[in-house]
Chain A
């Protein structure tokens, strides 16, 4: 079965600093999804990557998919307190309707 490993497990950065979160798959990546979660709340969809080399951005968050490395990275530029939360990567199995498999998450704290 597919497993997703996220690194780091937790991260504390100073406001204004850049950071990167990685998600590495044990198997071929098809659809890779990034979600953000604030404590006690649901999952907020950030973006989805499908093709090797694909890169998407939303405000100050950029995600890339390296198909050969079976890895995705999430980069936040000039972090703000509003970026704090848990970031989860999820992968579909390449078939319609397959349930997403999730990594354990990366907890981000931003100090002002």
Chain B
């Protein structure tokens, strides 16, 4: 029962570098989401996907890109890292059934620091 797996758990990037945050789920969920969490700010939606090949922007998409080639994987790409992207990133997935609390499953997070 792996659920949602995120890698890496920690990463330090230099300004201008790029990296991909990996997210994989093994529950055959259609919906997947990327959030970022800054201190005292709750979680803000970056991008989401309703199925393989379909992605859309959330509240704070600037500086990020996503792709969804398979149901299982939803990687988040940072092209030119900036200090403002220092944050904790959470990936989540859901069945897409409203009211099903088993639907929303979160990964353990990736703590990213840009210096």
Contact surface of A with B, Cβ cutoff 8 Å: 4, 9, 30-31, 33, 35, 40-43, 45, 47-48, 50, 88, 90, 92, 94-105
Contact = CB atoms under 8 A, between A and B. Distances in A.
A44 to B, nearest CB: 9
B99 A50 contact: yes
B49 to A, nearest CB: 10
A94 B44 CA distance: 18
A103 B39 CA distance: 12
B33 A94 contact: no
Identify whether the interface residues of A are mostly helix, strand, loop, or mixed: loop
Chain B: interface residue count, which band?
A: 20 to 34
Given A42-B107, A103-B42, 13 more contacts: A4-B42, A31-B99, A42-B108, A90-B104, A95-B98, A97-B30, A98-B98, A99-B33, A99-B58, A102-B44, A104-B40, A104-B42, A105-B40
Given A43-B90, A103-B42, A104-B41, A33 B101 contact: yes
Interface of B: 30-31, 33, 35, 40-45, 48, 50, 58, 90, 92, 94-99, 101, 104, 106-109, 111
B96 A42 contact: no
Contacts of A47: 101
Given A33-B104, A104-B40, A42 B109 contact: yes
A111 B28 CA distance: 43
